[in-house]
């Protein structure tokens, strides 16, 4: 069974559907890019997948023993988050909050996990630094390490390269690809279709029409040809 199966989903606010008739599957090891213009419902879908808001109708089924609190989430950064007055180590460790259960304090296991993920994201040397003093790229590495503490099988990334310069953007995409090559399922929201589909295996395009399928199918589709440079070149 797929990790996530979405069936005939309608989502939105106060019964006003933003997206309806949505069907797609996320298999273990997938790299799915969710694209679409502003206001097409990408963030609403992400919030619904995370269980932060109820769907209007339809189903989201989690398979292969996955529960929704096992999805690591890298939110879109707001100015308040960028200015957060905590150290890198504290922020990464806070990703382990879900495994505390009834305990108030982080134990050896959580601290070890945080250390491993700081190493993985190559931010060990920054661990005592204050988050708000870091560059945008360093901040995203910290937040990825935090998301990895929360979950190691699926990561949901909301506009992870927004505001980063081209060099750091390329590094971030390559870091995310490495995680995917290591077996982590990636679901990424992006408004930058051309860069994000370079790495993706599957595309979900939201908008007036909905497309879900492999990247190759997308590039050959009318939507892919309309919305991407690569697809346009195939036309
Ligand atoms: P995207 O992430 O693709 O830009 P969103 O999911 O943020 O799109 O928004 C989809 C639609 O839902 C937009 O029309 C937006 O105005 C509306 N919307 C977003 N958040 C809310 C909310 N809290 N209450 C009511 N409508 C909302």
Q: How far is the CA of 38 from the centre of ligand 1 (A)?
A: 9
Instruction: Give φ, ψ of 8 to 5 degrees.
Output: 45, 45
Residues contacting ligand 1 via CB (< 6 Å) = 13, 18, 36, 38-44
Q: How far is the CA of 41 from the centre of ligand 1 (A)?
A: 6
Instruction: Give φ, ψ of 184 to 5 degrees.
Output: -85, 130
Spatial neighbors of 147 by CB under 8 A, at least 6 apart, are: 72, 73, 74, 95, 155, 157
Q: How far is the CA of 65 from the centre of ligand 1 (A)?
A: 30
Cα(42)–Cα(190) distance, integer angstroms: 8
Q: How far is the CA of 46 from the centre of ligand 1 (A)?
A: 11
Instruction: Give φ, ψ of 107 to 5 degrees.
Output: -100, -170
Q: Tell which residue, 127, 103, 104, 105, has the closest CA to residue 116.
A: 127
Specify the ligand 1 atom closest to the Cα of 13: 25
Specify the ligand 1 atom closest to the Cα of 45: 6
Q: What is the pTM of this model?
A: 0.90
Q: What string of pLDDT tens digits covers the 235 residues of the chain?
A: 799 999 999 999 987 999 999 999 999 999 999 999 889 999 999 999 988 899 999 999 998 777 766 788 888 877 667 777 899 999 999 999 877 777 778 889 999 999 999 999 999 999 999 999 999 999 999 999 999 998 878 999 998 888 888 899 999 999 999 999 999 999 999 888 888 888 999 999 999 999 999 999 999 999 998 888 887 776 5
Specify the ligand 1 atom closest to the Cα of 36: 3
């Amino acid at each position: 069974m797929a990790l996530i199966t979405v069936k005939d989903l309608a989502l939105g606010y106060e019964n006003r559907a933003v997206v309806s008739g949505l069907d797609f599957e996320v298999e273990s090891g997938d790299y799915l890019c969710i694209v679409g213009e502003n206001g097409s419902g990408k963030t609403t879908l992400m919030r619904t997948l995370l269980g932060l808001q109820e769907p209007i109708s339809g189903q989201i089924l989690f398979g292969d023993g996955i529960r929704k609190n096992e999805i690591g989430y890298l939110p879109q950064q707001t100015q308040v988050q960028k200015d957060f007055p905590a150290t890198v180590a504290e922020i990464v460790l806070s990703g382990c909050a879900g495994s505390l259960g009834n305990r108030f304090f982080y134990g050896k296991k959580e601290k070890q996990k945080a250390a491993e993920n700081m190493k993985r994201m190559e931010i060990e040397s920054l661990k005592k630094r204050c988050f708000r003093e870091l560059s945008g790229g360093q901040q995203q590495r910290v937040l990825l390490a935090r998301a990895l503490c929360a979950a190691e099988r699926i990561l949901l990334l909301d506009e992870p390269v927004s505001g980063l310069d081209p060099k750091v953007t390329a590094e971030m995409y390559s870091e995310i690809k490495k995680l995917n090559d290591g077996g982590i399922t990636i679901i990424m929201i992006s408004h930058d279709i051309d860069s994000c589909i370079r790495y993706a295996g599957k595309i979900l395009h939201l908008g007036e029409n909905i497309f879900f399928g492999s990247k190759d199918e997308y590039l050959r589709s009318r939507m892919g040809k309309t919305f991407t440079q690569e697809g346009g070149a195939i036309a």
